[in-house]
Amino acid sequence: MTDVTEITQQEQNNTFSLVRQENGIAHLIMDVKGDSMNTLKAEFSDEIAEILKEIREDKAIVGLVLASGKADSFVAGADVHMLAGCTSAAEATALSRQGQMIFDQLENLSIPVVAAVHGACLGGGLELAMACHAIVCSDSPKTALGLPEVQLGLLPGGGGTQRLPKRVGIQKSLDMMLTGKQLRAKQALKAGLVSDVVPNSVLLATAEQLALSGKVKPKARQLSFMDKLLEGNGLGRSILFNQATKTVLGKTKGNYPAPLKIIDCIRTGVEQAPSKGYQVEAEHFGQLVMSDVSAQLRQLFFATTDMKKEQGVEGVEPDKISHAAVLGGGLMGGGIAFVTATKAKLPVRIKDISHQGISYALKYGYDLLNKKVKRRFMRHSEMQSQLALITGTTQYSGFNNVDIVVEAVFEDLTLKQNMVADIESHCQESTIFASNTSSLPIGQIAEKAQRPENVIGLHYFSPVDKMPLAEIIAHDKTSDQTISTTVAFAKKQGKTPIVVKDKAGFYVNRILAPYMNEAAILLLEGCSIEALDKAMVKFGFPVGPMQLLDEVGIDIGSKIGPILQAELGERFAPPAAFSKLIDDGRLGKKAKKGFYQYNTKSKKKLVDESVYSLLGLQVSNKAVTDEQAERCVYMMLNEAARCLDEEIIRNARDGDIGAIFGIGFPPFLGGPFQYMDKVGAATLVSKLTQWQAEFGERFAPCDALVKMAEQGESFYS
């Protein structure tokens, strides 16, 4: 028997090492040197092929356990960077075929092969695990299995579209691959994806025993009557695939090609032959790699990955935060407390003027966690321990050791200034005061502060538990230490923070306002509410502008508008007619009265047609043209270019991330700046100038765009 130490020394520079055990089982350990997580790279293929050959030739090996050399992850996926080197669809298709062939070799080994999974097992990592004869995974909350390639505009290219349906069925595999959904250990066991779930301490031993038993074939799936009806015959499968296609087109409006190609891969493998399915998978993978949609989504992935490594101010380390507090127990306060406790794992103290406000905030967190418990996504004990981190008070008791206070009270300058004074008198000298204001300049909030260097803006987006962006707003006296610490705090809460300059509207609301105003002007010109929303959803936004106003609150928009107009000029003037909505109590969804009906049992969103007469309009069915939709979007683009020129944002990348994560700018377009580069500055300026002559000065192209058009420049070189 070969000496284990000798193997380790010989193979210490390799990614894969083979460690033989006395019982005849060999451990195939993957450990990418120098990386915190394992990812699959094209250059590994020769090494894998060589080690598989060694396994085939060594008759002393009676079983194989595939495991990770990383402490907390299995394989996080394929290395996305390698796709950038592909210059044609044929090259990308060849990459896919290479992966398929390696995984086929693993699957075709004559000995039992068991994957021992702990931690992230995603994308190519799950395809690797599924090429094994069985999968055993740990019960750790860190363990997650999924095929999220669709989120990068791609599909699983290593046989995943063919192997997953065999393990979990057509319906479950469609659900996983079309959404990128990840399964926790128990969910994976229930779905039939894994054979067993055990504590990590016995994971390898369990995998060894399974390999030695030889019983590595997945258990036959117990099909329900509905499963048999839909998956067990041609007619049922046809209904299933057609419905999946219809659902995909309804959600994506045809803007994302990957989901339809995933359906085609699965359908081909099931209805024709697996060999044909593998061929189609590789071809589709190659086409998607070269698509502009995938290029933009991959660029977005790289940008967010880079941002995770950055500090608020380069070279300035953040201070440690051990305790946090929130002022105000409303919708925002409850959401901020929730992400602080559940994501950052920090104790958080909510201060409100009433017990009712505190109760509301606590209920907000309870309801969100209880849903996870009911879906068996988390244990009841876990929910209790997370909720125990959130406490409340109507005074300032428990604030003496707080490191950061997030203020989420009403948009009233005097009130916020008083909050600063209260925190300065009840907290430590180093305590950061972070205001969640959406419009008031931070410099004004800090105007009367004794320690203005500790005052900063921390603008979340609603609902806080879902929206990934946070704007960090530094005024001219905010210290670098405060900036870095606040950025680190937002990251711990699971947010992607961008640092922006302290000017009215900051960045996200500033570029959103002209877009919303133009949509309102189109409504007053006779376009229908429904048509406006449909046109912008078709363009790629998650919801239309009228529905967004209802969701955010029409009163919030009415408060922000005058502030932006006073600070930035008449192009921000909201339509005067919209004041009638506020007078009528139409505040949107929260008041169950806005542009849409809320006291109805209809599943479809219905327009409240009484809003037309209120605005002095006729009930409209008028459609929205592509040019009218562009008018709304180009107003946003023009303002984004101004923001970069005025250094409101640090760079175009932050501007793209802010727009996508903050207001749902279509991800497949890459963000406002990527989209402006695609359209071209000259085309933008030409269109804006045309509309300026036709509709007024609000369309005047900003100086930065005009200069770029003249010099043939772009935002990204």
Active-site residues, by number, are 471
Both structure tokens of 260: 């339809």
Q: Which helix (H) or strand (E) holds 120?
A: strand 120-122
E runs forming strands in 159-229 = 182-183, 196-198
| Residues 6 or more apart whose Cβ sits within 8 Å of residue 567 | 441, 503, 504, 505
Cα 515–520–523 angle (5° rounding)? 130
- Residue 48: strand pairing partners: none
Which amino acid does the sequence have at 284?
Answer: H
Which amino acid does the sequence have at 519?
Answer: A
Which is nearest to 483 in space by CA: 493, 491, 472, 496? Answer: 472
* 592: phi then psi, degrees, rounded to nearest 5: 55, 35
Instruction: Return the SS3 of 190.
Output: helix
Cα 237–242–247 angle (5° rounding)? 125
Which is nearest to 673 in space by CA: 644, 647, 693, 709? Answer: 644
Rounded Cα distance between 512 and 659, Å, is 9
Place of tokens 């990386």: 35
Both structure tokens of 243: 């419905």
| Residues 6 or more apart whose Cβ sits within 8 Å of residue 696 | none
Rounded Cα distance between 140 and 130, Å, is 20
Rounded Cα distance between 6 and 2, Å, is 8
Helix 508-524 to helix 529-539 angle, to the nearest 10 degrees? 140
Rounded Cα distance between 127 and 503, Å, is 48
E runs forming strands in 207-344 = 324-327
**Spatial contact of 310 and 497, defined as CB atoms under 8 Å apart:** no
3-state secondary structure 621-680: CECCCHHHHHHHHHHHHHHHHHHHHCCCECCHHHHHHHHHHHHCCCHHHCCHHHHHHHHC
| Residues 6 or more apart whose Cβ sits within 8 Å of residue 29 | 16, 17, 18, 19, 67, 68, 69
| Residues 6 or more apart whose Cβ sits within 8 Å of residue 81 | 302
Rounded Cα distance between 238 and 9, Å, is 55
Which is nearest to 193 in space by CA: 202, 185, 201, 181? Answer: 185
Which amino acid does the sequence have at 538?
Answer: K
Both structure tokens of 251: 């959600």
Rounded Cα distance between 151 and 288, Å, is 12
Strand order in 134-138's β-sheet? 16-20, 25-30, 63-68, 113-117, 134-138, 196-198
**Spatial contact of 113 and 106, defined as CB atoms under 8 Å apart:** yes
Both structure tokens of 590: 């929260």
Burial of 575 (0-12, 13-18, 19+ CB in 10 A): middle
Which is nearest to 540 in space by CA: 665, 626, 657, 674? Answer: 665
